[in-house]
C-alpha cells in the first residue's frame, strides 16, 4: 500500500514517514497541495495524509481537487490537524476528508485509522469494480439486443401490420418481452392475425418468433385455415422450444367475404370483439401453444358473425399487469371498462366520450393515467383491428420471389374420400400443386376463392346436404355452421373428385376445373331462378347454390344433368409478366 504524506514541515514528514515505513507501507511525500496533486497523478497512492495549512495550495483545495479526480475510485484522505477548531474540522469533511489525525502522532492510532480506511477502500473499490462490470454487461446486452432486433426485423416478415385498419402499440423492444404480432392477407381475401406472448423475457423468449412467423406466413400464403395453422404452430413449437417455454396466442381470421370472425385463443387474457353495441369476449378455451402433443391438441375454432366496423381488441398480459405507484395492477376489470368507452348504451363508463380520441387511444390514455408513468407502456402490446370489409378486400396478398416458369400443358386429378375430407382442406393443396408446376404466375387470390366456393358447394350441398337458405337470419347463420360441423363429423361415406387441367395460351392459360361429388345432386333447372333472386345489397349474397362468385370469375360454369358435377373454365394471365 502506497501512502502520500502532504506536509510543509519536514520534521512532520520525517516522523510520519518513519512510522509508516516501520509498518511496511511505501511512502511518498509532498510539501504543499499543488505538489500533492502532481504526486497523486504520477504515483497513484492508495491513501493520503494531508496537512491543512500549507503554502502555495492548502489541504482543503488539494483534497477537493483530488476527490473530483477520483470519482470511480476511493482514495481515503486523512487530515493532519489539531482537533481544536470545529469550523476547520467541518471544512475538512466538506471538502471530502475521510478522517482526522492530531499531532503529536500516535503510532497505534495512525495504524488503526489506516487499516480501517484500507478496509473501507477495498469495499468501495470492489463495489466500483462490480458497478463497472455491471455497466459493461448491461451495455453489452443492450448492444446485443439492438443487433438481434435488427436481425429479427430483417428476418421477420412484417406482413400487413401497417394496414390502415390495424392500430398497434408495440414497443420496439417488444420482441424481448416475448410479444409477437403477425398479420397477413389470405389469398382468398380476408386477414389472419396472430397475437402472441412467449413465456419469459430477453433474447430466449424471442427465438420462437422465427419458426412461428415462418409457419404463419407460409401457411397463410398457401391458403391454409387458422385451425391448420394453429395446429402446425403447436406442433413446431412443441418440437423446437425447450420445456417450460411456450406461447400464449390468439389467432384470428377476419373472413371479409362471409363477414365472420374465426378465432382460436390459447391463454391470451384480453381478447374482445367490440360490436359497437355489445362486447364479446374471445374466450381462451385452450392451453398455450407448444405444450400439448398433436393427439391431445384441439384446433377447434370459434365462429362469430361480424359487421363492418366491428373491432377486435387484443392485448398481451403486459397491459393487465401494468402496476401503478401503489403496486396495484391495471387488471382485467379496468381493461374491460375501457372497452365500454364507445359502447352504445353502456352504463359502466360515465366519462364523456371525446370524439377525437378513438378506442385504441382511449385504452392507452387510461393506462397512462393509471400508471402515471409513460415508460410503463413499453411493456404493453395492444392491437385494435377494425373489420372494414371494403378495405380488407382490396388488400393484396404478399408475393415472394420465385424462379421463372412458362405456362405449360398439364392436368392433375385428385379424389378425396369422406375421411380425408375431414382431415384435409384441398384448396391449399391444389394451390400448392399449381404453384409447384406454374410458380406464382397464376394469381391465387381470385382462383382460391373460386376453388373454395367450388369445394364448399360440393361438400356443403353435395355431401352434407345442408340448406344454405337458412343463413339469411343471424340465428340460421350460426345454425348453418354448427350443422356443418356435426354433419361433417358424422360423415361416413362419399367422396369428392377434383380435376384441374391447364392449356397454355399467349398470355397465360385456361384452367378447366371439375368438382364432382358423390352426393345426390340437385335440380339444375332451379339454378337460374335462384341466381335471379340474388340481391346485391344483401350481406349474404353468396349463400344458396348460386355460385355467383364462381360465375363472376370464370369464363364458363356448367353443371351436369344430375347436378353433382360442376365444370368451369378459369382464364389466367401471367402475373409475372
Give the three-class secondary structure for 387.
Answer: coil
Which three cell numbers mark 348? 359502466
Other beta carbons within 10 angstroms of residue 88's beta carbon come to: 17
CB of 113 to other proteins, least distance (A): 17
x/- track of binding to other proteins for residues 30-69 (CB under 8 A): -----------------------x----------------
Other beta carbons within 10 angstroms of residue 571's beta carbon come to: 15
Q: How far apart are CA 199 and CA 196, in angstroms?
A: 10
Comparison of 19 and 176: residue with beta carbon closer to other proteins: 19
Comparison of 8 and 379: residue with beta carbon closer to other proteins: 8
Which three cell numbers mark 213? 412467423
Binding of other proteins at residue 238 (CB under 8 A)?
Answer: no
Comparison of 18 and 151: residue with beta carbon closer to other proteins: 18
Residues 309 to 328 in contact with other proteins, rule: CB under 8 A: none
The residue count for binding other proteins (CB under 8 A) is 17
Binding range to other proteins, per CB under 8 A, among 16-24, 92-100, 167-175, 437-445:
16-24
**C-alpha count within 13 angstroms, C-beta hemisphere, residue 106:** 7
Binding of other proteins at residue 492 (CB under 8 A)?
Answer: no
Binding of other proteins at residue 340 (CB under 8 A)?
Answer: no
Binding of other proteins at residue 11 (CB under 8 A)?
Answer: yes
Comparison of 107 and 334: residue with beta carbon closer to other proteins: 107
Binding of other proteins at residue 24 (CB under 8 A)?
Answer: no
Binding of other proteins at residue 396 (CB under 8 A)?
Answer: no
Binding of other proteins at residue 484 (CB under 8 A)?
Answer: no
Residue 237's nearest CA partner among 291, 178, 290 is 290
Binding of other proteins at residue 425 (CB under 8 A)?
Answer: no
Q: How far apart are CA 501 and CA 41, in angstroms?
A: 88
**C-alpha count within 13 angstroms, C-beta hemisphere, residue 150:** 5
| Helix/strand number for the chain, H first, E second | 18, 20
x/- track of binding to other proteins for residues 104-143 (CB under 8 A): xx-x------------------------------------
Question: What is each CA distance from 23 to 26, 108, 289, 395, 426, in whole angstroms?
Answer: 9, 10, 69, 84, 91
Q: How far apart are CA 51 and CA 467, in angstroms?
A: 104
The answer for residues whose C-beta is within 8 angstroms of residue 129's C-beta and 6 or more apart is none
Binding range to other proteins, per CB under 8 A, among 100-108, 272-280, 496-504, 548-556:
100-108
- Applying CB under 8 A, among 1, 67, 96, 103 the residue interacting with other proteins is 103
Comparison of 9 and 467: residue with beta carbon closer to other proteins: 9
Give the CA dihedral 37, 43, 47, 49, nearest 10 degrees. Answer: -50
Catalog residues that contact other proteins under the rule CB under 8 A.
Answer: 8-12, 14-15, 17-19, 22, 53, 82, 103-105, 107
Amino acid at each position: 500500500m502506497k501512502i502520500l504524506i502532504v506536509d510543509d514541515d519536514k520534521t512532520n514528514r520525517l516522523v510520519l514517514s518513519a512510522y509508516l515505513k516501520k509498518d511496511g507501507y511505501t511512502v511518498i511525500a509532498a510539501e504543499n497541495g499543488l505538489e500533492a496533486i502532481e504526486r497523486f497523478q504520477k504515483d497513484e497512492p492508495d491513501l493520503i495524509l494531508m496537512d491543512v495549512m500549507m503554502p502555495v495550495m492548502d489541504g482543503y483545495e488539494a483534497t477537493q481537487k483530488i476527490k473530483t479526480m477520483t470519482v470511480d475510485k476511493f482514495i481515503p484522505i486523512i487530515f493532519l490537524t489539531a482537533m481544536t477548531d470545529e469550523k476547520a474540522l467541518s471544512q475538512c469533511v466538506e471538502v471530502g476528508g475521510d478522517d482526522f489525525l492530531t499531532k503529536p502522532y500516535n503510532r497505534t492510532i495512525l495504524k488503526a485509522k489506516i487499516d480501517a480506511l484500507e478496509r473501507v477502500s477495498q469495499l468501495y473499490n470492489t463495489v466500483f469494480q462490480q458497478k463497472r462490470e455491471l455497466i459493461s454487461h448491461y451495455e453489452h446486452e443492450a448492444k446485443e439486443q439492438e443487433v438481434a432486433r435488427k436481425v429479427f426485423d430483417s428476418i421477420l416478415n412484417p406482413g400487413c401490420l401497417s394496414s390502415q385498419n390495424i392500430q398497434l402499440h408495440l414497443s420496439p423492444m417488444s420482441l424481448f418481452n416475448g410479444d409477437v404480432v403477425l398479420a397477413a392477407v389470405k389469398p382468398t381475401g380476408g386477414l389472419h392475425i396472430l397475437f402472441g406472448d412467449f413465456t419469459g423475457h430477453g433474447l430466449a423468449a424471442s427465438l420462437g418468433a422465427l419458426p412461428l412467423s415462418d409457419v404463419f406466413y407460409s401457411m397463410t400464403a398457401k391458403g391454409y385455415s387458422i385451425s391448420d395453422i394453429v395446429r402446425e404452430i403447436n406442433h413446431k413449437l412443441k418440437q423446437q422450444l425447450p420445456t417450460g417455454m411456450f406461447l400464449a396466442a390468439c389467432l384470428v381470421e377476419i373472413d371479409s367475404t362471409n363477414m365472420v370472425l374465426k378465432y382460436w385463443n390459447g391463454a391470451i387474457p384480453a381478447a374482445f370483439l367490440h360490436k359497437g353495441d355489445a362486447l364479446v369476449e374471445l374466450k381462451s378455451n385452450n392451453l398455450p401453444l407448444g405444450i400439448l402433443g398433436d393427439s391431445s391438441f384441439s384446433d377447434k375454432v370459434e365462429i362469430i358473425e361480424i359487421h363492418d366496423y366491428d373491432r377486435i381488441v387484443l392485448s398481451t398480459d403486459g397491459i393487465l399487469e401494468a402496476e401503478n405507484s401503489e403496486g396495484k395492477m391495471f387488471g382485467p376489470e379496468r381493461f374491460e371498462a375501457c372497452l365500454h368507452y364507445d359502447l352504445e348504451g353502456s352504463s359502466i363508463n360515465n366519462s364523456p366520450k371525446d370524439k377525437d380520441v378513438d378506442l385504441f387511444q382511449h385504452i392507452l390514455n387510461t393506462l397512462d393515467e393509471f400508471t402515471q408513468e409513460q415508460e410503463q407502456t413499453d411493456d404493453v402490446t395492444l392491437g385494435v383491428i377494425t373489420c372494414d370489409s371494403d378495405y380488407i378486400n382490396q388488400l393484396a396478398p404478399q408475393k415472394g420471389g420465385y424462379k421463372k416458369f412458362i405456362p405449360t400443358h398439364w392436368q392433375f386429378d385428385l379424389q378425396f374420400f369422406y375421411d380425408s375430407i375431414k382431415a384435409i382442406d384441398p384448396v391449399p393443396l391444389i394451390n400448392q400443386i399449381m404453384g409447384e408446376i406454374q410458380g406464382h404466375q397464376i394469381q391465387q387470390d381470385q382462383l382460391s376463392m373460386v376453388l373454395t366456393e367450388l369445394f364448399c358447394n360440393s361438400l356443403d350441398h353435395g355431401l352434407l346436404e345442408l340448406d344454405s337458405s337458412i343463413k339469411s337470419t343471424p340465428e340460421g347463420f350460426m345454425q348453418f355452421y354448427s350443422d356443418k360441423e356435426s354433419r361433417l363429423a358424422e360423415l361416413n361415406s362419399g367422396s369428392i373428385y377434383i380435376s384441374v387441367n391447364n392449356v397454355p395460351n399467349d398470355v397465360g392459360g385456361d384452367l378447366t376445373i371439375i368438382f364432382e361429388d358423390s352426393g345426390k345432386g340437385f335440380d339444375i333447372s332451379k339454378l337460374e331462378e335462384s341466381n335471379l333472386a340474388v340481391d346485391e345489397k344483401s350481406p349474404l349474397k353468396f349463400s344458396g347454390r348460386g355460385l355467383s362468385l364462381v360465375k363472376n370469375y370464370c369464363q364458363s360454369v356448367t353443371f351436369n344433368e344430375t347436378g353433382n358435377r360442376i365444370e368451369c373454365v378459369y382464364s389466367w394471365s401471367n402475373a409475372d409478366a
